[in-house]
A and B are shown apart, each in its own frame.
Chain A
Amino acid sequence: MERDEMLRLYHQMALIRRLEEAAASLYQEGKIGGFLHLYIGQEAVGCGVVSARRPEDRVITAYRDHGIAIAAGMEARTVLAELLGKATGCSKGKGGSMHMADVSLNFWGGHAIVGAHLPLAAGLALADKYNKTTAATICLFGDGATNIGYFHEAMNLSVVWELPVLWVCENNQYGMGTSIERASAVPEIRQKAHGYGMPNARVDGMDIVQVRKATEAALKHVRTNGPFLLEAVTYRYRGHSMGDPERYRSHEEVTKWEKNDPIGIFHKYLIKNKHATEAELEQSANQAASEIQEAVRFAEESPDPAPEVLFSDVYVKEVG
């Protein structure tokens, strides 16, 4: 990675962290409704994976999507506006936290039914293959999603049809309150690729440098040889969603992982290898904080969608 790229990613990770903290406060204030799933702790995965793509590569993910949206190039203000349900949000206030997308950025959502976007990803990749482009589709999903039928159907189909899709499992070790040991027949998600004869890899998802490297290699494979399963081992620091009583894990366990903070790890790496100075990184982090402040203001000041749009976009052309 070039130095500029590393600094850009450091900034992006800090931006996501601040954005999610701001979202948590807005939720506490009652300004965000519904479910809110924070990405804090997993930033290295989204930023590392998505930064490895070419512009023509598609990205699609589950409902824990704010960080992926930012990594895909969405502005923080657009994410926050959607969280507040505003007309200026990426989905015009109709999607909310779990349904962010920007097709112009080749970011295809934000999907809230566990596993349902895996076949969508297969279809996106099929379209690229059909049109004989060189694009790949990157599909991110959780460890819990690998226990649902959709996962297995999509793995199988992608191999049978040799689809250019990179399956990325963000293994944060829990699906809501159920640990991987209690829900998955095998302890490592990558093992599930074996049943489909699919090449696979497992990477430390707290280390963005490793994630990026692994993704580059995986994408190279995908473009020439078809699907690949990349497992990134990570951890979410906050509850599954807001208001999670977290009875399923100990405080010590969370603290242990917090010592392994992906932003901290990258920080140390940049300093140790003299890619950046402390002052530069501090400035980057401060800038992220003020960017988020500004974005929150934008979102709060944005208008609600007009009542007239209730019936728009149900069909492409309005029907009676």
Chain B
Amino acid sequence: MPIITMREAISQALWEEMERDERVFILGEEVGVWGGTYAVTRGFYDHFGPERVRDTPIAEGTIVGAANGAAMAGLRPIAEMMTINFAFLAMDQIVNQAAKIHSMFGGQMTIPVVIRAVGGGGRQLGATHSHTPDVIFAHFPGLKVVSPGTPYDAKGLLKAAIRGDDPVLFIENATLYQAKGEVPIEDYIVPIGVSNIQRAGKDVTIVTYSKMLQVSLQAAELLAKEGIEAEVVDLRSLRPLDMQPVIRSFKKTNRAVIAEEGWRSYGIGAEVAVRVYEAALDYVDAPIRRVAQKEVPLPYNRHLEQLALPQVQDVVEAVKGVL
């Protein structure tokens, strides 16, 4: 199996789906002539042309809005938010229109739209450009929120998102674009809403996704050297949230750490921990621990920024804390 980067995996998914289905098109800021701010759509404009790779004005609400409208009319738009931080300007179209229209009109209209947005901290972009706000969007029924942690999942999940009939927010992490992994040549999809055991272990369950999956896998390597076998569960999709593999793992290990890049308060850690307690209280051998971002606007200074972001060592220590 070829080994490719996350960027290539996402790019391939977009390319192949556009080749497969005429109704699929891309719109967003700098997606065309520029080739995508993160070079994900490089070469698309020349191949697919300006009708299917549409450069837009800087107008996030209207980018998602026009995508929603085109989806209502039967197309399959992929709207790109240059970064997820700008998706706040499109909040209304994402949560008030995309997530509501199918239900609110009694099922008459569907919104088969994919909103791609790249997020995450760690690149010294300062507080406004470093959000990991995934959980905010995952709050809304009617929207699906996925965020892959490997190239394989990125390609398969993005294809599932494009082929599905529901609105999907597809969150990429900028620091993962260079991450490598095996991706088959053959066409495949990864169904949305299925969590996945990324690493088997018997001593503790680490629940995570996206960038923190890679961090957690590194932590698991270090722990293994000390004879601690961590099982790492990748949620992959925040809504729908598949708790089955988490619960199954927890019933085996009786201990869990939840690692996310966003802030702890009201976070995925809180949600997952409560669900574990609800489903497996009798199996709890230690209070569940959460690893997350320090509760500050992310600072620019490299050292301060890294101090605020959850690190491999934080996961290692949290695991030791529950053992």
Hey, which bits of chain A sit against chain B, CB under 8 A? 58, 89-95, 99, 101-103, 108-111, 113, 116, 118-128, 130-131, 149-150, 153-154, 156-157, 160-161, 312-317, 319-320
Does residue B254 face the partner (Cβ distance < 8 Å to A)? Answer: no
Known: A120-B65, A123-B68. 7 other contacts (CB 8 A): A101-B109, A118-B65, A119-B64, A123-B66, A154-B62, A157-B66, A161-B54
- The interface bits of chain B over 20-62 (1 if a CB of A lies within 8 angstroms of the residue's CB, else 0) are 0000010000000000000000000000000100101101011
Shortest B174–chain A CB gap in Å is 26
Q: Is the CB of B57 within 8 A of A160?
A: yes
- Give the 9 A-B CB pairs with smallest separation, nearest first: A123-B69, A119-B65, A92-B106, A127-B73, A313-B107, A153-B62, A120-B69, A316-B165, A123-B66
The chain B residue sitting closest to A60, CB to CB, is B69
Q: How far is the CA of A317 from the CA of B163 in the complex (A)?
A: 13
* Most central of A110, A123, A126, A153 by chain B CB within 10 Å: A123
The chain A residue sitting closest to B64, CB to CB, is A119
Residue pairs across A and B with CB atoms within 8 Å: the count is 140
Q: Indicate whether A127 sits within 8 Å of B70 (C-beta atoms), given known contacts A116-B96, A157-B62, A317-B165.
A: yes
Report B-chain residues with C-beta under 8 Å of the C-beta of A123.
65-73, 77
Q: How far is the CA of A103 from the CA of B64 in the complex (A)?
A: 21
Report A-chain residues with C-beta under 8 Å of the C-beta of B92.
113, 116
> Chain A's interface: helix, strand, loop or mixed, by majority?
mixed
* Most central of B72, B74, B142, B144 by chain A CB within 10 Å: B72
Shortest B76–chain A CB gap in Å is 10
Q: Is the CB of A91 within 8 A of B105?
A: yes
Does residue B229 face the partner (Cβ distance < 8 Å to A)? Answer: no
Q: Is the CB of A124 within 8 A of B69?
A: yes
Contact of B70 among A130, A313, A315, A316 (CB under 8 A): A130
Q: 26 A-B contacts, Cβ less than 8 Å apart?
A: A58-B73, A91-B104, A91-B105, A94-B103, A95-B105, A103-B109, A109-B105, A113-B96, A118-B65, A119-B62, A119-B64, A119-B69, A120-B72, A120-B97, A123-B67, A123-B73, A124-B73, A126-B69, A127-B70, A127-B72, A127-B73, A131-B75, A160-B57, A315-B144, A316-B102, A316-B166
Contact of A113 among B74, B97, B109, B166 (CB under 8 A): B97
The chain A residue sitting closest to B51, CB to CB, is A130
